[in-house]
Amino acid sequence: MKSLKSKQLGIWFALIAEILLLTILTSSIDGESGFESTFLNWTNLSQVIRALSFIAIMAVGQSVVIITGGIDLGVGSMMGLTGVVTAWLLTQGVGIVPAMVLALFAGLAGGFANGMLITQMKLPPFIVTLGMMSIARGLAFAITGGETIRSLPKEFLEIGQGELLNIPLPILVMVLF
pLDDT digits (tens, 9 = 90+) for 51-89: 888 888 888 888 888 888 888 999 999 999 999 999 999
What proportions of the chain, in percent to the nearest 5, are helix, strand and coil? 75, 0, 25
pLDDT in tens, 87-145: 999 999 999 999 999 999 999 999 999 999 999 999 999 999 999 999 999 999 999 99
22 to 16, 26, 40, 46, 165: CA distances (angstroms): 10, 6, 12, 13, 20
Beta strands (DSSP E) in the chain are 163-164, 167-168
pTM: 0.73
Write down the pLDDT at residue 6.
65
- Residue 57 CB contacts under 8 Å (≥ 6 apart), including other chains: 170, 173, 174, 177
Question: At residue 7, does pLDDT exceed 70?
Answer: no
